[in-house]
Amino acid sequence: GNSVTQMEGPVTLSEEAFLTINCTYTATGYPSLFWYVQYPGEGLQLLLKATKADDKGSNKGFEATYRKETTSFHLEKGSVQVSDSAVYFCALTGGQAGTALIFGKGTTLSVSS
Amino acid sequence: DAGVIQSPRHEVTEMGQEVTLRCKPISGHDYLFWYRQTMMRGLELLIYFNNNVPIDDSGMPEDRFSAKMPNASFSTLKIQPSEPRDSAVYFCASSLWGSNTEAFFGQGTRLTVV
């Protein structure tokens, strides 16, 4: 079945450091890919998405490119801020999974000043 | 729109009691999802509805769990009887038709069963 694997955390960085959170997926068909972010005590919010191969999603300085050849959707940011501290979830939908989002286990990011 | 609204935000109950979690989706959204979040298992899809009809409930862990959507603006997730291992954060989310559309999440209900 469809699944998402993302790097385990926590990831601890200093402010202005470069961030990469790896995400790979297994899916039949042509899924859409998402990154969601969860701040403490809140629900998940969409950060960015890509709906077809080679699409790049971007938002708030974060980027991720849908790589069908490597089945990956790695999240990157060139310069993190303390306010980026949160849990990040990679997810997919579509294909065999239908409309429901299937999530990875989440990666906790902690940024210190 | 106020977004997806869940109630209560926190629930503490004793083992064996019935628990009912509530969700109001965003008006006009025709998909509604229930997820459970734990440290061990992450975010698990429990069940989802399309136009008030349950489409996939394969994630519901046991018969103690049931979910209903009597109309387009309300859904419940019920646990009866509750057990300590049901302690988790339960999220409701809604979206418009289409597998590449964004799902909007409520703030969750933190359930503690003692």
Greatest alpha-carbon pair distance for chain B in Å reads 40
| Each residue's pLDDT tens digit, B37-89 | 998 888 999 999 999 999 999 999 889 999 999 999 999 999 999 999 999 99
Provide φ and ψ at A85, rounded to 5°. -60, 120
pLDDT over 90 for what percent of chain B?
83
| A97 three-state secondary structure | helix
Cβ distance A46 to B102 less than 8 Å, yes or no, reads yes
Buried b vs exposed e over B72-82: b needs ≥16 C-beta within 10 Å? beebebebeeb
Q: Which of B7, B47, B99 to mutate to test the interface with A (most CBs of A within 10 A)?
A: B99
Res A97: pLDDT: 46
Q: Residue B5: beta bridge partners?
A: B24
Res B96: pLDDT: 85
Res B100: pLDDT: 67
Task: Tell me if chain A has a CB within 8 Å of the CB of B105.
Answer: yes
Task: Tell me if chain B has a CB within 8 Å of the CB of A86.
Answer: no
**Contacting residues of B for A45, CB less than 8 Å apart:** 105
Res B87: pLDDT: 97
Q: Which of A51, A59, A90, A99 to mutate to test the interface with B (most CBs of B within 10 A)?
A: A99
pLDDT over 70 for what percent of chain A?
96
Q: Which of B100, B102, B105, B110 to mutate to test the interface with A (most CBs of A within 10 A)?
A: B100
| Each residue's pLDDT tens digit, A31-70 | 899 999 999 888 899 999 999 999 999 999 999 999 999 9
Lowest-pLDDT choice from A17-31, A82-96, B5-19, B59-73:
A82-96
Q: How far is B112 from chain A (nearest CA, A)?
A: 15
Q: Mean pLDDT throughout A63-90?
A: 97
The secondary structure of A26-63 as a DSSP string is: E-SS--EEEEEEE-TTS-EEEEEEE-STT-EEEETTEE
Mapped to the 3 state alphabet, what secondary structure does B17-67 carry? CCEEEEEECCCCCCEEEEEEEECCCEEEEEEEEECCEEEECCCCCCCCEEE
Res A101: pLDDT: 87
Long-range contacts of B25-31 (CB under 8 A, 24+ apart): B25/B72, B25/B73, B25/B75, B25/B92, B25/B94, B26/B1, B26/B94, B26/B104, B27/B1, B27/B73, B28/B96, B29/B94, B29/B95, B29/B96, B29/B104, B30/B72, B30/B96, B30/B97, B31/A99, B31/B94, B31/B95, B31/B96, B31/B97, B31/B103
Confidence class of residue A29 from pLDDT cuts 50, 70 and 90?
Answer: confident
**Contacting residues of A for B39, CB less than 8 Å apart:** none
| Each residue's pLDDT tens digit, B94-104 | 998 765 678 99
| Residues 6+ positions from A74 with CB-CB distance below 8 Å | A20, A21, A22, A23, A64, A65
Task: Tell me if chain A has a CB within 8 Å of the CB of B43.
Answer: yes
Confidence class of residue B25 from pLDDT cuts 50, 70 and 90?
Answer: very high
Contact present, B9 and B111 (Cβ < 8 Å): no
Q: Please calculate the CA angle B42-A69-A76 and round it to the nearest 5 degrees.
A: 55
Res B1: pLDDT: 67
**Contacting residues of B for A101, CB less than 8 Å apart:** 33, 45, 93, 103
Task: Using CB atoms, pick whichever of B42, B95, B99 lies closest to residue A105.
Answer: B42
Q: How far is A59 from chain B (nearest CA, A)?
A: 14
Res A1: pLDDT: 78
The answer to whether residue A13 scores a pLDDT higher than 90 is yes
